[in-house]
Structure 1
Amino acid sequence: MCSIEKINDKATKLAFDKRVVSATQQIHPYVKHRLYIAESTGIIPKKMYTSNGIIDDSIAEFYENGFDVDSDIHTIKIKLFKIANSNLETLFKKEAFHKDTISTNSILEEELDDLEEHYTMNADWDFVMNEELNDISYKQDHKHKHLFLYDDNNSSVLSEFDAEDIEPNRSKQILGSLYSWMPLHVSSVIDLLVFGKLSFEDIAKVKSIEVSRVEFIYEEVKKQFKDHLD
C-alpha cells in the first residue's frame, strides 16, 4: 500500500470511529435509565454496574463482530442499541439467579404470581407477553408491595404520556408503580422510545419484533397509564 493509500485508510477508519462515538450519545440515557430501573426494582444490586461499562462492552462487541467502515451513524446506532439491549437483558437474567445479592428470585416469583393471568415466563427466566397485551398491571395495592418511589429528575416519561401537569409527588408514585410492575420486555420498549429517542421502526429492529407490536405496546401502556390517573 502506498503512502497516500495508507493515509486515506487511516482517515477512513478515524471517520468511522468518530461516527461510532457519535452514535453512542443516544445510548447513554437509555442504558443509564435501564440500570436505574433494575436497581430500584431489585433486579440488580445498587451501584454494581455503570452505563459506561455496559456501553464500552457493547462497543467492543460491535467491533469484534466485524463492521462496514462505510456505515452511516444511524446504522451504527441501531446495531449498538441492539447489542447494548441484549447485554442488559443477559445481565438482568443473570442477576435474577444470583443467590448472594438481594432476594430477586422471590421478588420475581411473587410478581409472576400476581400477574399470571396476563404474563408468562420463558425458559430463560424473563417475562414475556402473552398473545394479547390486554392489561399492564401496575396497581399500588399489590399484596407484596415491591414498589419504589420514582425519583429520576427527567420528565420525559410524563411528557410522552401527556401527563406533565400531574402533581409531582403523585407522578413519582405512579411512575414508580408503573416501572415496578411492567415486565422488562415491555418497559425496555418504552425506554427505547423515551430515552433512546428511537422511532417505532427502529425499536422493532432493536427488539426483533414487528413495528405493529411496538405500536400496540406503546398505545396499551399509554392507555393503562391514563386510566390509572382517573
Structure 2
Amino acid sequence: MSTLQELSSKSAKITFDKKVLSAVSYLHPYVKHRIYIAETSGILPKNMYSSNGIIDECIIQLYNNGFNIDAERHAVKLELFKLVDDYMNELFKKEVFHKNTISTSEMRKREIAKLGEDYTIDADMDLILNTELNDISYQREKDNELYLYEDKETSILRAFDVSNLPIKRSPEVFGRFYNWLPINISNIVDLYIFGNLNFEDIAKIKNISNHRVKLIFDRVKNSFRTHIE
C-alpha cells in the first residue's frame, strides 16, 4: 500500500505533509548547487533541469513508495535526501554524454567511468582518495572556471578551514576542484556543506559507515588545502 493510500484521515495527511514541506527548504540549496556544478562541467545541458522539478519528482516517489507516515520529521528529511541523491546520480549517468560532445568515444568512456564502479564510494579507498585526490596535479589542462555566490564560497572555505584564498583565484580554484573531484565524492562533500547534514546522516543516505564518510571528507579537505598552498 502506498503512503498516499495510508493517509486516510485529513489530520494524518496534514501532519505528514508538514514533515515533507519542512524538508524541502533543506533540499533546495543542495539540489541547486549540484545542478549548477553539473551544468558548468557539461554533464547536464543548461536550463533543462530545475531544483523544483527534481524535488517534486522525489516527493511523488516518497508518497508512492509506501514510506512510514508515522516516521519522525528527521527520518522523512533523510529519506527525501536519499531519493534526491539517487535520482540525481541516475540523471547524471543518463546525461553524461552531453559532456565533451565533440570528444572521442574513449574520452566519453572515461567520463562514464567517473560515475561507475572505479569511482564509487564502494571502490578501493586508497585508489580513490590517495591516487586520485593526492596525485592529480592542478597543473593539468585548464578546467572550467566556476563562479559561486560569495555565501557558497564562504561555506566551502569554512568547511575546509581555509581563510586566505584571494578572491581573484576563487573561480579557478573551485572550477578545478569540482572538475578534479569524482562526482560521487563531491556528492558527499556537498551533502555536508550545502545539505547541512552531519556525517551520520550522510552515512545513512549513502549506506556506508560514519567512519568512512569522515575519512572521505577529511582527505578531500586536506587535498584541497594542499593544492591551494
Query: Which residue in the other structure is 1:121 paired with?
Result: 113
Whole-angstrom CA distance in 2 between matches of 1:176 and 1:122: 17
Name the SS of the counterpart of 1:149 in structure 2: coil
Count of matched residue positions in the alignment of Structure 1 and Structure 2: 214
Query: Which residue in the other structure is 1:134 paired with?
Result: 130
- Give runs of aligned pairs for residues 167-186 of structure 1, distance below 5 A: 167-186=166-185
Please say if residues 114 and 182 of structure 2, whose CA atoms lie closer than 8 Å, have aligned partners that are also in contact. Answer: no
Deviation at 1:104, TM superposition (A): 8.2
Please say if residues 204 and 210 of structure 1, whose CA atoms lie closer than 8 Å, have aligned partners that are also in contact. Answer: yes
Deviation at 1:184, TM superposition (A): 0.5
Query: Which residue in the other structure is 2:193 paired with?
Result: 194
Whole-angstrom CA distance in 1 between matches of 2:208 and 2:225: 25
TM-score for both structures, normalised by structure 2: 0.83
Deviation at 1:131, TM superposition (A): 3.1
Whole-angstrom CA distance in 1 between matches of 2:109 and 2:167: 27
Deviation at 1:54, TM superposition (A): 0.5
Match of 1:134, as an amino acid? N
Q: Which runs of 5+ in 1 are unaligned?
A: 1-7, 114-119
Q: Does 2:155 align with 1:159?
A: no
The alpha-carbon distance between structure 1 residues 177 and 206, as it changes in their structure 2 partners (threshold 3 A), is same
Query: Which residue in the other structure is 2:145 paired with?
Result: 148
Query: Which residue in the other structure is 2:222 paired with?
Result: 223
- Write the deviation string for residues 100-134 of structure 1: whole angstroms up to 9, x where unpaired: x7518759937949xxxxxx938958833533121
Whole-angstrom CA distance in 2 between matches of 1:108 and 1:147: 21
Whole-angstrom CA distance in 2 between matches of 1:200 and 1:50: 27
Deviation at 1:36, TM superposition (A): 0.6
Please say if residues 20 and 77 of structure 1, whose CA atoms lie closer than 8 Å, have aligned partners that are also in contact. Answer: yes
Q: Which runs of 5+ in 2 are unaligned?
A: 1-7
TM-score for both structures, normalised by structure 1: 0.83
Match of 1:83, as an amino acid? L
What percentage of aligned pairs have identical amino acids?
40
Larger Rg: 1
The alpha-carbon distance between structure 1 residues 11 and 110, as it changes in their structure 2 partners (threshold 3 A), is closer
**1 or 2, which has the higher helix percentage?**
2
Over 2 Å off, 4+ runs: 104-113, 120-131, 137-141, 145-153
